[in-house]
Every structure is written in C-alpha cells, then in structure tokens.
Amino acid sequence: MEGEMKQSKLGRRLLLFPAPFHGHINPMLHLATLLYSKGFSITIIQTVHNPINPTHFPHFTFHSFYSSLLELYSKSPPSDPLAFTSAMNNCSEPFRDCLSQILCDATAAADNEPIAALIADPIWKFAGSIAASFNLPRMALRTGGVLSLLVYLSMPSLREKGYLPPQDHKLDEPLPELPPLKVRDLPLPLLHELLETVVHEFKTSQGVICNSFEELEDSSIAQVHQILPIPIFPIGPLHKHTPTSDTNYWAQDQTSITWLNNQAPKSVLYVSFGSVEAISRTEFLELAWGLLDSMVPFLWVVRPGMIQGTKAYDSLPEGYLEMVGERGHIVTWAPQLEVLSHPAVGGFWTHNGWNSTLESICEGVPMLCQPINTDQYTNAKLVSDGWKIGLKVEKKVKREEIVRSIRKLMLEDGGEMKSRITTLKEKATFCVKEGGSSYTSLEKLTKLLLSF
C-alpha cells in the first residue's frame, strides 16, 4: 500500500484520535490515509472499544490506552448513547498518560521527527485541554455534515428566538436561518449538553476539517465561516480521495455482489441502517412485509443487533425467505461502497448517517430516508427537501405506505431526482481532483499543518 500511495516524507508526524464508533472511525482513517499520501507520518490513538486492526494499516503507528469503564461498556454497550459518551469522558487521564508517552518517545527518537498536531474527534471533550497543556496544536474533524454543525453552533440564538426548547404547536414552523429545516428537525433536548461540549471543542481548536464539499453545502460552510473565527477545511468526500484504503471491520458477505450481478440495471433497492441503529420488532416486520409486497428486487442488510433484543434472523416471519425467493437477498453485512456503485442498484433505503448519505450521493443513488437518531434527521431533511434527491419515510410507517414509497422511488419518481443526484455525483468526483474545491482546501490544510 505504501508503494501505491507514493509518499514523500515531510519529516512531520500527526496524531489522530478517532471516537470509537464506526461512523467516526471510517472518515478518520480515510483522513489518515490521505495525509499519509501527502507526506506526513501517522500515529493513531485508540481505545479498547471497536479497535482498529493495525495489520490493515501497516504504514501507521498505533497506540492504545486502557479504561476499565470503557471496557465494561465495550462488553455490553448500553442502548443509551449518552451513557457510553459518559464512559468516554472517564478516559481523560489514560489519554493524558498515553499522549505524554508518545511525546516523550518522539523527543528521544533518533529520527527527530517532530509531532505537528493532534487531530481529534470533538466528542472527546478533554482532548483540547490536554493537548493545550502540552502546547500541542489541535484540529477537530467534523465527521458529519456541515448543516448539522451549523445547527449546533446556532443553538444559543435559537433559544433566544424561542425555538428551543421546541413546543408542540411550533414543530412545523420553518427555521429561516437554517433552510430547509423546521423546528421538529432540531436536536432532542437530552442531546444539548453533549452538543455544547462538541461546539466548545470546535471553537477552541486551531481549525476544523469537514467531510463535505463546497458544491454540496456552500451556504452552510459560509455561515460556519462567519461564526467560527478559525480556518474551515471542507475536503470531502474523504473516501473519494483514498479509494484503496480498507476501513472495514466486519466480515462482508460477498454473495451480495454475486447476487447483484444477476439483476437488471437500476432495479435493486439496497436497504441498510448502518452499524449501530436498532429498530423495534414491529417496525422490522412492517419493513419485511413492505419489501416483499413491493415486488421490487432488494438487497437487505439485517445486522445482528439491528432488531431490539433479538439475533439477526429471529424476527423474520415464518417462511419469509421462501416467499422472497430470488427476488431478494438478505445478508448480515455488505461491502456498501461496492454495492452502491453496482449498476444493478437503483435506490438506497438508509438511516441517513452522514457516511451513508455521502456515499449514496457519490454513486448517484437516490434515497429513501428513515432517520433514527441525532444528525440523521438533518441529513434526511437535506436529502428530501434541500437537494431533492430522495423521499422521506415517516416513523412507524405501515407496510402499505412502505410499498408506495418503494415503488415511487424505484419505478415512478425517477426522472428529475436521478438527474439532480447525477449532477451532485459529478461535482463530488470533480471536487477532489486538481483544481477542485476539496483539492484546493486540502492544499491549504497541508500548509497549515506544516506551519505548526
């Protein structure tokens, strides 16, 4: 892989500290691979939860630290993500010790390779203050979209204007400052304290790296520029820069591709709700019957833990696989980028995590949007009402409505929606090439990192 990347050494090392969730680790690893290709040496700091396999990235150095509370949650993760985030906050001293050791080793090393900066996920609320205590420059990686970041930054003014806390009779009021959002799309109150912490980490950093691009979120990027008095670097889509990097953790069922090879062009609906989110058994059954009754070919990821309290196939109706036959294919995990780029795939039913949303745009695949948590609601709103490249599926939807939504996306509503997402796909492809907006932003980021 090192030969493929044609690295020319700059004699500078970067430390990267991802949050231990797949949706956060993947873009951080893509960023690491990209910066390595620019000549930086890379050290990854990680925890015992969702550890990256160092053998997949032999060109990086890895350091792990131990936290008993985080290990406890790793063995039995809570359903409440805030509980896990609370456990993460107990990692400050182990992280301090780990960082201190890395800096000491760098000082004593014979190659005298200075450490330029720490790039941390802002969910780590202690990373900024600890880096500052070592006089180490720190940058924050925004793994989600820029509009959702703008929402977080705007929360104080939204409170002043009476939008927060949201009131039932105002839920459908539009937010003029944040189109196309309405009051109902704002983060839940229980997340506000966490989001304020994240905002603080952004504001106290030396710059923000964004996994987005100007042509996709130009207005939001401009507004964030006005609010944050630090450099902003939209260099996404990160995975478009580094197509050779392997960031998968779970065994991927390659029968997905074998099955897709036998399907007609643009005929298949790909269904996946990511690596974390879970739905109720009732929702799962409505989804199963809706897929069956739609008569549309489908590839469905039924991940262990996706159905609350059950194993992967426990909740499928009796005889379901026989009824589906060759028209559907169900797997526990799939190579998503390979699936989305396959000519047989014509639609993506997604939870609208930012990585999935961006990957679908990059492959020109229209979406059925069913957000489940956090910034997924903002992303879904952008897809359906902002960019108009997908359709929203309401919560607790019945099988009849599921059938209508699937058929509308796959068979009826193709023209303008597919044209719009094809245009965005072309912009995503161009922006990472020489002269493109993300390419130019990456050059500016490299210069800043070398100035530290």
Domains of the chain in start order, with CATH, are: 2-247+432-451 (3.40.50.2000), 255-428 (3.40.50.2000)
Highest mean pLDDT among 2-16, 186-200, 246-260: 186-200
Contact present, 245 and 30 (Cβ < 8 Å): yes
Task: Report pLDDT digits (tens) over 50-62.
Answer: 889 999 899 999 9
In this prediction, residue 191 carries a pLDDT of 85
Tell me: pLDDT of 160 over 80: yes
Residue 28 backbone phi and psi in degrees, to 5: -65, -40
pLDDT at 243: 60
pLDDT level of residue 4 (50, 70, 90 thresholds): very low
- Tell whether the model's pLDDT for residue 246 goes beyond 60: no
In terms of pTM, does the model score above 0.75? yes
The tens digit of pLDDT for each residue in 99-117 reads 999 999 888 776 778 999 9
Which whole number is the average pLDDT over 329-339? 93
Cis peptide before 180 (omega within 30 of 0): yes
Pairing of strands 390-392, 41-46: unpaired
* Average pLDDT over all residues of the chain: 90
- Residue 378 clears pLDDT 50, i.e. is over it: yes
How much is the pLDDT for 235? 98
Residues paired with residue 232 on neighbouring β-strands, in sequence order: 208
Greater model confidence, 368 or 395: 368
Q: How many alpha carbons fall within 13 Å on the CB side of residue 274?
A: 25
Q: Is there a contact between 123 and 198 (Cβ–Cβ < 8 Å)?
A: yes
The pair of three-digit structure tokens given for residue 378, joined into one six-digit string: 């903002």
Mean local confidence (pLDDT), 187-195:
86
Answer left, alpha or beta for residue 390, where phi above 0 means left and psi between -120 and 50 means alpha. Answer: beta
Which long-range contacts does 284-287 make (Cβ < 8 Å, 24+ apart)? 284/315, 285/315, 285/317, 286/397, 286/398, 286/399, 286/402, 287/402
- SS3 letters across the chain: CHHHHCCCCCCCEEEEECCCCHHHHHHHHHHHHHHHHCCCEEEEEECCCCCCCHHHCCCCEEEECCCHHHHHHHHCCCCCHHHHHHHHHHHHHHHHHHHHHHHHHHHHCCCCCCEEEEEECCCCCCHHHHHHHCCCCEEEEECCCHHHHHHHHHHHHHHHCCCCCCCHHHCCCECCCCCCCEHHHCCCHHHHHHHHHHHHHHHCCCCEEECCCHHHHHHHHHHHHHHCCCCEEECCCHHHHCCCCCCCCCCCCCHHHHHHCCCCCCCEEEEECCCCCCECHHHHHHHHHHHHHHCCCEEEECCCCCECCCCCCCCCCCCHHHHHHHHEEEECCCCHHHHHCCCCEEEEEECCCHHHHHHHHHCCCCEEECCCCCCHHHHHHHHHHHCCCEEECCCCCCHHHHHHHHHHHHHHCHHHHHHHHHHHHHHHHHHCCCCCHHHHHHHHHHHHHHHC
Q: pLDDT-based confidence at 314, cuts 50/70/90?
A: low
Per residue in 121-137, pLDDT (tens digit) is: 999 999 999 999 999 99
Q: How far apart are CA 36 and CA 42, in angstroms?
A: 6
The band of 80, judged by pLDDT with boundaries at 50, 70 and 90, is low
Taking a C-beta distance cutoff of 8 angstroms, is the pair 113, 132 a contact?
no
186-190, 227-231, 271-275 — most confident range? 227-231
pLDDT at 418: 92
Q: Which of 262-276, 371-385, 412-426 has the lowest mean pLDDT?
A: 412-426
Lowest mean pLDDT among 76-90, 351-365, 403-417: 76-90
pLDDT of residue 441: 98
What is the rounded average pLDDT of the residues 257-274?
A: 96
Check whether 269 has a pLDDT greater than 70.
yes
Q: Is the pLDDT of residue 45 over 70?
A: yes
